[in-house]
Structure formats: structure tokens, C-alpha cells
């Protein structure tokens, strides 16, 4: 039987959550309608990435099953990257809310888009992990949005989440840098900080947005250095 103080705390927590919902009901990230993180209309407006797309980075293609020009120009370490939707409209608002407006509740509906992409690898992945945030930024935000997405996705895909990576140094903001500068900016910026055996493991690496793939590639390099056999990047969105 659960001790009395613990049961009281649990009840208080549940009541507090309900009270908070009554006082500040969750609103749709896109149209602000009261009800939840996404209203049905805004969820229905999401532009999913449909085939044919680049087998390496999920970008749209004119002809199927050949890497896109960006992947041909910049060889990638990561095994493959899938993105669920184009970075626009309701998805863009959702990612912004998750990152900058403390809308942690947005991670669960977004994970429903990520889970099918994780099961779509060659075989069932061994572990799910996430791109780490700089500790200072994580302190400001209170959580790492990529980790929230990865934990929720693991719950939905039956996988196991593990915090595997850490940043070895602060990196400059990637905004305004071209692909080559982005790769140079994050090279050797990550390392595995876990005693988990990664030899021969297939790992799903979760992030919110894919831009040039530089960050995912730098994380993949650290996982491959510890013996991972495949690293599948899975993101909510990528730009067209
Ligand atoms: Zn809406
Ligand atoms: Zn590509």
C-alpha cells in the first residue's frame, strides 16, 4: 500500500494539473482555439512529406531513388534522415511553441508523427536518443525539446530511450551559416557520455528540425566512434 503522504501528493498533483487546465486551458499552437495542442483543423492542415523523396535526407526529388543535389555535394556520415513534415504552417508554430513558449505538451502529438518513421528502418532500432542542448540553454528552457520528442516517441514505438550524447563545447548559432560553415561549426562538438555498450547497435537520433544535417551528422560521428552500426536521423520537419 502506498504511504499516506505520497498518496496525498499524488492527489494534489492531479488536482493541481486539472486546476491549471481550468485556469489556463491549453490552446491550439496555430489558431489559439481552446482544447489541446492541435485543433483537428490545424492538425489536418499539416503538409506531410510524400514520396518520392531523397533516400538520404527526405528532401523532395524530381526523379525517385537517387540522392538529392545537396546530398551529392556534401557526403553524409549518418545512415539516413527522415522528416515527417515540411517546416511551415501549424508544424512551424508547434516547434516554435515547444522550443520557446514552454509548450512541453506539444511533444506528445508531434511524437505520433515520429513513431512511424522510427519503425520504418531496416530492422527495429535498438535505442532512441536525441540531439543534446547546450547545458546553459537547457537550464533556461527547463528541458531539451529533442529529448521530450524522443522520450514520447520511444513510448509510442515500443523503443528504449537513452540519453547518450553531450556537447563538448558551446557552438555558435547555426543561423546565417551556409552548409559548409555549419558542418565546421559543429565538428567534434558531441561525444557519447554513457556507459551503454553501442557496438553493433542501430540508433534512432531525434531532433526537431533538419536544416543542413550538420548537427545530426556530428552526433552520428560520435555514435559511430563508439561502434554503432547505423544511425537513423528522424526529425519533425525540414524546410522545402
Ligand atoms: Zn488550430
Ligand atoms: Zn538529400
Identify the residue whose cell numbers are 560553415: 181
* CATH code of the domain covering residue 224: 3.40.50.2020
- CA distances (Å), origin 94, targets 1, 87, 134, 177, 190: 41, 10, 21, 24, 27
- Ligand whose nearest atom lies closest to the CA of 38: 1
Q: Quote the cell numbers at residue 205.
A: 537520433
| Chain segment 29-80, per-residue pLDDT in tens | 999 999 889 999 999 999 999 888 888 888 877 666 678 888 888 888 999 9
Please list, residue by residue across 64-77, b when 16 or more beta carbons sit within 10 angstroms of its beta carbon and e when fewer do.
eeebbeebeebebe
How far is the centre of ligand 1, averaged over its atoms, from the C-alpha of 109 (Å)? Answer: 13
Any idea what DSSP says for residue 88? S
Does residue 142 form part of some domain?
A: yes
- Burial of residue 186, with CB atoms counted within 10 A of its CB: 0-12 exposed, 13-18 middle, 19 or more buried: buried
Does 12 have pLDDT greater than 60?
A: no
How far is the centre of ligand 2, averaged over its atoms, from the C-alpha of 213 (Å)? Answer: 10
- Ligand whose nearest atom lies closest to the CA of 37: 1
Query: What is the total count of domains within the chain?
Result: 1
- Ligand whose nearest atom lies closest to the CA of 72: 2
Does 215 have pLDDT greater than 70?
A: yes
Does residue 24 form part of some domain?
A: no
- Ligand whose nearest atom lies closest to the CA of 31: 1
| Alpha-carbon gap, residue 138 to 132, rounded angstroms | 9
Does residue 11 form part of some domain?
A: no
Which residues keep their CB under 5 angstroms from ion ligand 1?
28, 30-31, 33, 39, 42
| Predicted local distance difference test score (pLDDT) of residue 122 | 63
Q: Report the chain's C-alpha Rg in angstroms.
A: 19
Does residue 18 form part of some domain?
A: no
| Predicted local distance difference test score (pLDDT) of residue 179 | 79
Please list, residue by residue across 195-230, b when 16 or more beta carbons sit within 10 angstroms of its beta carbon and e when fewer do.
eeebeebbbbbbbbbbbbbbbbbbbbbbbbebebeb
- Ligand whose nearest atom lies closest to the CA of 30: 1
Average pLDDT value for residue range 185-207: 92
How far is the centre of ligand 2, averaged over its atoms, from the C-alpha of 41 (Å)? Answer: 31
How far is the centre of ligand 2, averaged over its atoms, from the C-alpha of 177 (Å)? Answer: 19
Residue 145 CB contacts under 8 Å (≥ 6 apart), including other chains: 95, 98, 99, 107, 133, 208
| Alpha-carbon gap, residue 220 to 31, rounded angstroms | 36
How far is the centre of ligand 2, averaged over its atoms, from the C-alpha of 169 (Å)? Answer: 28
Average pLDDT value for residue range 124-135: 91
How far is the centre of ligand 2, averaged over its atoms, from the C-alpha of 54 (Å)? Answer: 5
Does residue 40 form part of some domain?
A: no
Does residue 233 form part of some domain?
A: yes
Does residue 203 form part of some domain?
A: yes
SS3 192: strand
What is the full DSSP assignment across 122-171?
SS--SEEEEPPPPHHHHHHHSS-HHHHHHHHHHHHHT--B---EEESS--
Q: Which domain holds residue 215?
A: 46-238
- Ligand whose nearest atom lies closest to the CA of 89: 1
How far is the centre of ligand 1, averaged over its atoms, from the C-alpha of 235 (Å)? Answer: 22
How far is the centre of ligand 1, averaged over its atoms, from the C-alpha of 95 (Å)? Answer: 14
Does residue 208 form part of some domain?
A: yes
Average pLDDT value for the chain: 87
How far is the centre of ligand 1, averaged over its atoms, from the C-alpha of 36 (Å)? Answer: 9
- Ligand whose nearest atom lies closest to the CA of 80: 2
Amino acid at each position: 500500500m502506498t504511504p499516506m503522504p505520497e498518496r496525498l501528493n499524488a492527489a494534489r498533483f492531479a488536482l493541481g494539473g486539472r486546476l491549471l487546465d481550468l485556469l489556463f486551458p491549453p490552446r491550439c499552437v496555430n489558431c489559439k482555439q481552446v482544447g489541446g495542442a492541435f485543433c483537428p483543423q490545424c492538425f489536418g492542415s499539416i503538409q506531410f512529406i510524400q514520396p518520392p523523396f531523397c533516400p538520404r535526407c527526405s528532401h523532395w526529388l524530381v526523379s525517385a531513388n537517387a540522392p538529392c543535389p545537396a546530398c551529392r555535394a556534401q557526403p553524409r556520415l549518418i545512415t539516413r534522415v527522415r522528416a515527417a513534415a515540411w517546416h511551415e504552417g501549424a508544424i512551424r508554430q508547434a516547434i516554435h511553441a515547444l522550443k520557446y513558449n514552454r509548450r512541453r505538451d506539444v511533444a506528445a502529438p508531434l511524437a505520433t508523427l515520429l513513431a512511424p518513421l522510427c519503425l520504418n528502418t531496416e530492422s527495429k532500432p535498438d535505442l532512441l536518443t536525441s540531439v543534446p542542448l547546450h547545458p546553459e540553454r537547457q537550464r533556461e528552457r527547463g528541458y531539451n525539446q529533442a529529448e521530450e520528442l524522443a522520450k514520447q516517441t520511444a513510448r509510442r514505438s515500443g523503443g528504449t530511450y537513452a540519453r547518450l550524447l553531450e556537447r563538448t563545447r558551446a557552438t555558435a548559432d547555426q543561423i546565417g551559416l551556409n552548409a559548409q560553415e555549419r558542418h565546421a561549426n559543429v565538428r567534434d562538438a558531441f561525444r557519447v557520455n554513457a556507459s551503454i555498450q553501442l557496438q553493433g547497435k542501430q540508433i534512432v537520433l531525434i531532433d526537431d528540425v533538419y536544416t543542413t544535417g550538420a548537427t545530426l551528422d556530428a552526433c552520428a560521428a560520435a555514435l559511430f566512434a563508439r561502434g554503432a552500426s547505423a544511425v537513423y536521423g528522424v526529425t519533425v520537419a525540414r524546410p522545402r
